[in-house]
Amino acid sequence: MSEVGTQNVLEMINLTKQFPGVLALQNVSLKVKRGTVHALMGENGAGKSTLMKCLFGIYSMDEGKILLEGKEVAFANSKQALESGVSMVHQELNQVRQQNVMENLWLGRYPKKGIFVDHKKMYEETKDIFKGLDINTDPREKVSNLSVSEMQMIEIAKAVSYNSKVIVMDEPTSSLTEREVDHLFKIINKLRSQGVAIIYISHKMEEILKISDEVTIMRDGQYIATKSAKELTTDEIIKLMVGRDLSQRFPAKENKPKDVILKVSNMTASTQPSFQDVSFELRKGEILGVAGLVGSKRTEVVEALFGLRGITSGKIEVHGKEVKNDSPQHAIKNGFALVTEERRTTGIFPQLSISFNSVISNLGKYRKGVFLSDAEVGKDTQWVIDSMKVKTPNQKTAIGTLSGGNQQKVIIGRWLLTNPEILLLDEPTRGIDVGAKFEIYQLINQLAAEDKGIIMISSEMPELLGTTDRILVMSNGRVAGIVDTKTTSQEEIMRLSAMY
């Protein structure tokens, strides 16, 4: 075997890929050394996923070539890639949840004894792989009973089971806690020591600098630079990614909080364990952040405000008048809008157009008898595209083909068409690159300056401190405190988060 870290196990040379109306990749090259972690970074829409899909046989490249261990390859499908030692752990986990762990691991290639599946051999081989990766999951456990982090570990184990030379990990920590991230990094370090090359895609700068050996940066479908992670800082990565200095990571705030628009008193969820006795106020033109550790029930609170969860006691008042948000329809009528955390699963219809995704929450406005007014739908869709600065070839483009940041802009635009007074944002910049984040922050500031009341959940402390006016801290389903953003600190927020 070649010496770890000195020879390129993978070379992608001058790859070009064009879609109708979009040049997704233009002469992009990537060289990955054996036994290293190579980070791939760039704004959403930079071409990272397209490049990896060309490697994995999901897309065919228009120009360029790929060398694996010095031999030219062009995989026609993902099966060929896997069998050749190239695996991909996708951000969206595609597992058969009703089957058990080992059946998912060996799907399509079960060990056989004659014409029957050899369950004993499958169990033993799964245990061996798990032991090597320090995974403690029972191979016979049903996948539907696992946490997101456990499911992700199964996908990594699956990649290892193919004796992979190269493993692509796409946003592997987007749903993981700090402790789970530490476990993942231990697995990555173990794989690296065994000579496996990891291509690591993430927007989390601190993570990249901690785990990577080298970093390649892309912008607008083009290769920008490859540098040693030791030589880079967060600010340098940002500058290379966006083509400009973003030392000011958060835009200047222009909103001025005014009268109380929303008052929540002693709100308790109808199903327990969940939140209880939650009270707070939101002012017109205010951005109220919501902080808390995993399990603090932040999301459950905003879902209850939007009528997705029942409450047994407590009161919700808008402009001093009590409202009953028994369903999302009632909540929309009462001036609420919700941008959910899981954009891909609960926020968009990925196969359908930007036009459909823009107007779906406000269809009544466009009805003319049994039909919809195409002119009105087109006008409002164009308003979403223009005002939200959505990058797209046209209104008919499937929203699932857009970058995460552009999808999020469409969702926010969709809700603004309902003319809400209170906008509930659950992790609005999750999985979005730094340039698109800045645009979302600008948008949130602008909405607050137009007197919208905004409640924003975020797991990123710098984001909360950089964008909000006050921060409500949840701890184990209770309000641990409400602090002024200008005078608080990360330490105070963490102390409150662990109060109950």
Q: Which range, 24-38, 140-154, 163-177, 235-249, is most confident?
A: 24-38
Cβ atoms within 10 Å, residue 167: 23
pLDDT category of residue 457 using cuts at 50, 70 and 90: very high
- pLDDT above 90: residue 162: no
pLDDT category of residue 5 using cuts at 50, 70 and 90: low
- Cα separation of 263 and 477, whole Å? 18
pLDDT category of residue 428 using cuts at 50, 70 and 90: confident
- pLDDT above 60: residue 3: no
Q: Identify which has the larger pLDDT, 427 or 288.
A: 288
- pLDDT above 80: residue 92: no
pLDDT category of residue 91 using cuts at 50, 70 and 90: low
- pLDDT above 60: residue 303: yes
- pLDDT above 70: residue 179: yes
Cα angle value 29/34/38 (rounded, 5°)? 55
Q: Which amino acid type is present at position 277?
A: D
- pLDDT above 90: residue 452: yes
DSSP 201-242: E-S-HHHHHHH-SEEEEEETTEEEEEEEGGG--HHHHHHHHH
Q: Do domains 8-242 and 260-497 have the same CATH topology?
A: yes
Q: Identify which has the larger pLDDT, 391 or 280.
A: 280
- pLDDT above 90: residue 429: no
Assigned CATH for 260-497? 3.40.50.300
The two structure tokens encoding residue 448: 């607050």
Q: What's the pLDDT tens digit per position in 249-281? A: 788 888 999 999 999 999 999 988 899 999 999
Q: What's the pLDDT tens digit per position in 330-386? A: 999 999 999 887 766 667 888 889 999 888 877 778 777 777 788 888 899 998 898
Q: 463 with 290: CB under 8 angstroms?
A: no
pLDDT category of residue 97 using cuts at 50, 70 and 90: confident
- pLDDT above 70: residue 175: no
- pLDDT above 60: residue 2: no
Q: Which CATH class is domain 8-242?
A: alpha beta
- pLDDT above 70: residue 44: no
Mean pLDDT over residues 102-107, rounded? Answer: 86
pLDDT at 22: 73
pLDDT at 1: 35
Q: Which amino acid type is present at position 65?
A: K
The two structure tokens encoding residue 23: 């040049």
Q: Which amino acid type is present at position 31?
A: K
Closest CA to 223 of 40, 11, 432, 38: 40
| Alpha-helical segments (H) within 134-204 | 148-161, 178-193
The two structure tokens encoding residue 449: 């300056």
Name the residue ranges covered by the structural domains of the chain.
Answer: 8-242, 260-497
